[in-house]
Amino acid sequence: MIRAIASATGYAMTTDRFDCTPATAPRRSFHPLEMIPFFSRWAPGPLRDFVYSFIFNTLIALVFTALAVLFSDRIDLGRQLWVTFVFAQCIGYTIYVIFLVVDAVVAPEVRRRPAVRWMNFTVIPVIGVFIGYWIATTLMNFQQTRAEMFTLRGVASILTVALIIAGILIAIFIPRERAARMQAQAATEEARANAAERETTVARMQLLEAQVEPHFLYNTLAHVVSLVDSEPALAKRMLHRLIDLLRATATSTQRTMTLATQLDLLRSYLDLIAMRMGPRLAWSIDAPADLAKMPIPPMLLQPIVENAIKHGIEPKVEGGRVDVTARREGDRLVLTVVDTGLGVSSTRSTASTGLGLANVRARLATLFGDRASLAMADNAPAGTRVTITLPL
C-alpha cells in the first residue's frame, strides 16, 4: 500500500501536459517542481516534463522509503528503495502517457469544458494506477501481488489510492487553472485598453492634421482675405470659427468626450464650411437635451461629416445638405449622418481612400467589440447615410 501511495503521489507532477488554460492564454504547464525557483527557469516541453516527472517520482520514492524505514523494525533498505522506485515510475509515467494521448486526440475546446476536465482528473488517475500497478508487479515478478489486484480488497485498495490522486490533482490544478484564466483575462483587457488608447491617440492626431493641413487653411484664410473689405463681419466670424475649431481639436486630450462637446465641434466646422460654400451647403444638428452629457469616444462624427462634405457635397454642382442626428433606441445610442451628395457608389469612385471610416470602425471594434457598429448605405433620393450604433 505504501508503494502504491508513493507511485500515485508521484503522478501529481505529470498532469502538466493537460491543457487547462483558456484559449487566449499562452500554453503553460503547472509542474509541482516549478514551486522551486531553480526548476522554473526552463520553458515547458515534452522532454523537460519527462525529466521533471522522473525527478519528482524519485523524490516521492525516497520519501516513502524513509517512511517505511521509520515504521518498520526490519527492512532491507536497498530493496525497499528499489521496489518503491519502480512502482512510482510505472504508475507516474503510465498516467503521464495517458494524458499525452488525451492531449493529442481530444480537441482543445473539448478539453476546456468543465465536465471533461473533472472527468479527466478522476477517470485517468484510476486507469493509470491500475495499469501502472500491473506493469510494476509484472516487472518485479510479484505474481501474488498482481493476482491480489483483482480481488475485492485489492481493487478497493488501488481505487482508494486513485481517489487520493484525484483529490491531489483537483486541489493543485483546478485553482491554478482558475488563476491562469483570470491572468489571461486581465492581460486581454490590458491589451484591449492599450489598443483603444492607441486608436484614440491616432484619431486625435489624424483630426488635428486634417484641420491644419495646408489645403484646409489656405482655402479658409483665402476666403477670409476676400471678405475682409467687402464683408468684414463675415470674415471676422470665419476667423472666430476657425480658432474655435483648432482650439477644440488641439485641447481634446481626454479618452472620452460628451456628445454635446462633439456636436459643438461639428457646429463650428459646419458653420465654417457653410460660410465658404455659401448657399451650396445647408446643415442641421438634432440631439435631445437628455443625451447631451452622454460620454462617447472622441472624434467619431467629425471624419464622417468631413467625408460627406468633401466627397459627397463639394463635388456636386448644386451642393446639398448634411443632417446630424442623435437618438436613444432602448439601451443603444444611434448617431446618424445623412447627406444629399453624390451617394455611396459615386463617393467610392472619387479620391476618397475610406481611411476615415476604416479608422472609426477599428476604434469601435477595439472599444466595444461586436456591441457597436458602423453602417453606410445610399440615402433616398440622393446621398449617403452613415449610422453609428453604440451601447449606452
Q: What is the pLDDT of residues 87-130, one digit of tens each?
A: 888 988 888 888 888 878 887 777 777 777 777 777 888 888 88
Mark whether 25 and 159 lie in a shared domain. Answer: yes
- For 72-81, b/e burial (b = at least 16 CB within 10 A) is eeeeeeeebb
pLDDT digits (tens, 9 = 90+) for 52-66: 889 888 887 888 888
For the chain, the domain total comes to 2
Range of the domain at 34: 2-190
Q: Is residue 357 situated within a structural domain?
A: yes
Q: Is residue 44 situated within a structural domain?
A: yes
In 3D space, the residue among 212, 388, 384, 203 whose CA is nearest the CA of residue 311 turns out to be: 384
Q: Rounded to whole angstroms, what are the CA distances from 326 to 153, 201, 329, 337, 388?
A: 77, 25, 10, 9, 10
Which position has the grid cell 523524490?
Answer: 59
Residue 310, pLDDT above cutoff 70: yes
Say if residues 92 and 132 touch (Cβ distance below 8 Å): yes
- For 32-65, b/e burial (b = at least 16 CB within 10 A) is bbbeeeebeeeebeeebbeebbbebbbbbbeebb
Mark whether 24 and 166 lie in a shared domain. Answer: yes
Q: Is residue 250 situated within a structural domain?
A: no
Mark whether 131 and 28 lie in a shared domain. Answer: yes
Mark whether 186 and 275 lie in a shared domain. Answer: no
Helices H / strands E in the chain, number of each: 13, 7
Residue type (1 letter), 53: S
CATH of the domain at 271: 3.30.565.10
Cα separation, 180 vs 21, whole angstroms? 6
At 3 the pLDDT is 38
Q: Rounded to whole angstroms, what are the CA distances from 63 to 125, 153, 192, 306, 388?
A: 21, 25, 48, 76, 67
289 DSSP assignment = G
**Sorting pLDDT into bands at 50, 70 and 90, what band is 1?**
very low
Cα separation, 158 vs 358, whole angstroms? 63
Q: Is residue 215 situated within a structural domain?
A: no
pLDDT digits (tens, 9 = 90+) for 255-307: 678 899 889 888 888 888 888 888 899 999 999 999 988 988 877 888 899 88
Mark whether 102 and 16 lie in a shared domain. Answer: yes
Mark whether 61 and 171 lie in a shared domain. Answer: yes
* 30 vs 247 pLDDT, higher one: 247
Mark whether 173 and 291 lie in a shared domain. Answer: no
Mark whether 26 and 104 lie in a shared domain. Answer: yes
Q: Is residue 386 situated within a structural domain?
A: yes
Q: Is residue 195 situated within a structural domain?
A: no
